[in-house]
A and B are shown apart, each in its own frame.
Chain A
Amino acid sequence: MVKKIYSTYPMVKYLRREALPTALCPGCGGGTVLNAFANAVDALKIDPRDLVVVSGIGCSAWIASPYFLADTLHTTHGRAIAFATGVKVGLPDKKVVVISGDGDLASIGGNHIIHAARRNVDITVILVNNFTYGMTGGQVAPTTPVGAKTTTSPYGNVEHPLPIAETVAAAGASYVARWTTAHVYQLIESIKRALQVKGFSLVEVISQCPVQFGRRNRMKEPAEMLRWFLKNSVPVSRARNMKPEELEGKFIVGEIVSRKRPEFTDELNGIIEEVQERLGLREG
């Protein structure tokens, strides 16, 4: 049956077949994210030879690496964006994409994501937020909602989640959007926008982890989690007129920021040209 799915799935041309089937649990939102990313690449007619996908550690890091058929760099925990910065400087004409989880990018990698946004380096980050550390056994994350139960918050989480998309927007990113895996078409559109933006772009995807998170929070079926996302999603435009207490526990979805700012590799190359000119080093 597995074989049949692969032979009829139109996006299979973008997958590294020898790495299939995926290691993702049944019902995981990772498949939706991979599908949305492949559809965005397909819609934009991006040649996968012009893509480098970088990821960190954890379930979500696996979504595109190794499964997406491109140059893929699977790095150390939390550091994907820093690796990707080096790749982008070396290959300014390629699309450099980071796909990883909330534990990876918003916790241990928090410093890197805000500084990459500040530099506005031309990288697209797809941050898959499932509120937990899935691969290590469902521990509390910096994105876990208040009161949620995890293996390391058995009596309910007392910490407040980090609004990572808003943080990255404040740090200076060119484009930031948030969707859930229940908003597939909007998600594809946002990934397309992000891939086309010259500058740092982030698409946060609220994603279900029924096995590690849902099960401990009375949502063991993937569909229950998707219904939870839909019921609690608030469009950005509406959220602007809502009070903080009304937004407690809600998912603000839509485009949070979209603006033009000078891009990092462009600026570096600008400096090089300026120095070459000033010192009369340019050939011919």
Chain B
Amino acid sequence: MIVRGDEPEQLGLLRKLYKPGNYFLQGNEALSYGALFAGCRFYAGYPITPSSEIAETMARELPKLRGYYLQMEDEIASIAAMIGASWTGFKVMTATSGPGFSLMQENLGYAVMTETPLVLVDVQRSGPSTGQATKGAQGDFFQARWGTHGDHPIVAISPVSAQDAFWEIIRAFNVSERLRTPVVFLFDGVLAHTREQVRIPDVSEVEITYRRLPAGEEDARLPFGDPYGDGVPPMPLFGHGYFTHVTGSTHMENGLRDVYTPEVHDRLVKRLHRKIEKNRSVYERNEEHFTDDAEVLVVSWGVTARPALGAVLRAREEGIKAGLFVPKTVHPFPGERMRELGKRVRAILVPEMNLGQMRLEVERYVNDDVLVRGVNRIGGVPLTVDEILREIRGVA
């Protein structure tokens, strides 16, 4: 059974199948190849526009790498199957879109509570409900953060291009494995369906992380403890004779349920939070352009970060001191860096394809004397360079 994805045999297969070089790929395809390079060998999903090409690529490519594609009866079954497979050692992924993401939320919470590594790709489309099924959007920013119930931490990553999707999905797997936690990957319908040049690297350029396994039976006895002080317990995989008990109910360090003792719940849920907070360096990543001397700061993410960069470059040509801040890991939000940048600028613009979701996060970290304004567009058509530039001029 494949448990890592970086075994010589697997690397040999990757080399044989995917020659390094430049390819003309759709975002969804680039993302899929990234997942394969990251070691994903199990995919369970249910087709939904605009994510379906990910399922199609995985169905075609996985058997070549001795991996498994399962088309389940619905999205709930898909995430359930991937959690089951993750406990056997597979690196697992599913891809869906808004309505499917909604259906997966309960089991996403289960994965958080049971500390199951998995990567959940949400190719955002217009909503609410069926909305514009074929159109891109960025309206699931908070669904990724607060979609499932309870006080839960989450890591969500969002790329800005097809090439970026290739590398960022690898990072998503690495974060998920390193912190033994589900990672949400916020893609969108526009990038998913745009074809652009993507360089496929040699496997040697790809860094692969793998979950910490118990050193022995003693180590496996506390699958939900904190033996290393970083909040990340080793994961005793099924089938190794450890007799591990896994439950979504509040559990003690040994896995057994205790839903009556307040301290047990407090200790467990706070550790889950601490695990994510303390390991910021594992997942935090931002892109910055001209932030050193910026007077007007544009904060954008995902698909909109690209016209935003275009607008900032044009503004600079016009002599406006504009800068761009792009959180690549959008949750936990890079609040500290946002606070620093917010102290130095006069105005902040937040362009996104929704009615102002990330803007709310930005506002939490910026003083009242800074003008914060959203640049928002819904309806499935991305914002353009000109539209964002016009707003920059307006506040410059």
Chain A residues with a Cβ under 8 A of chain B: 16, 18-19, 48-50, 52, 54, 65-66, 69-76, 79, 82-91, 94, 111-112, 115, 268, 271-272, 275-276, 279, 281, 283
Contacts and interface: CB of A to CB of B under 8 A. Distances in A.
A281 B238 contact: no
Contacts of A87: 84-85, 87-88, 238
A275 B64 contact: yes
- Majority SS of interface residues in chain B? mixed
A112 B80 CA distance: 11
B70 interface: yes
Contacts of B88: 86-87, 89-91
Given A71-B239, A94-B239, A18 B256 contact: yes
B81 A85 contact: yes
A271 B73 contact: no
Nearest to B3: A90
A276 B64 contact: yes
A73 B82 CA distance: 13
Of B106, B246, B248, B256, chain A has the most CB atoms within 10 Å of the CB of B246
Nearest to B107: A76
Given A18-B254, A74-B249, 4 more contacts: A16-B243, A73-B87, A82-B81, A89-B68
B173 interface: no
A45 B87 CA distance: 25
A18 B221 CA distance: 13
A268 B64 CA distance: 12
Contacts of A52: 238-239
Nearest to A71: B238
B16 A91 contact: no
Interface in B164-184: none
A83 B42 contact: no
Contacts of B74: 111
B248 A76 contact: yes
B248 A75 contact: yes
5 contacts: A49-B243, A82-B80, A111-B73, A115-B72, A115-B73
Interface residues of B, number: 49
Contacts of A83: 80-81, 83-84
B54 interface: no
Of A54, A79, A84, A272, chain B has the most CB atoms within 10 Å of the CB of A79
Contact of A281 (B16, B73, B92, B107): B16
Given A18-B256, A271-B63, A90 B16 contact: no
B267 interface: no
Given A18-B256, A87-B238, A272-B63, A48 B80 contact: no
B245 interface: yes
A19 to B, nearest CB: 6
Contact of B66 (A76, A88, A272): A272
A48 to B, nearest CB: 7
B77 to A, nearest CB: 4
A115 B76 CA distance: 13
B246 A69 contact: no
B227 interface: no
Of B9, B44, B83, B242, chain A has the most CB atoms within 10 Å of the CB of B83
A49 B241 contact: yes
Interface in B214-253: 238-239, 241-249
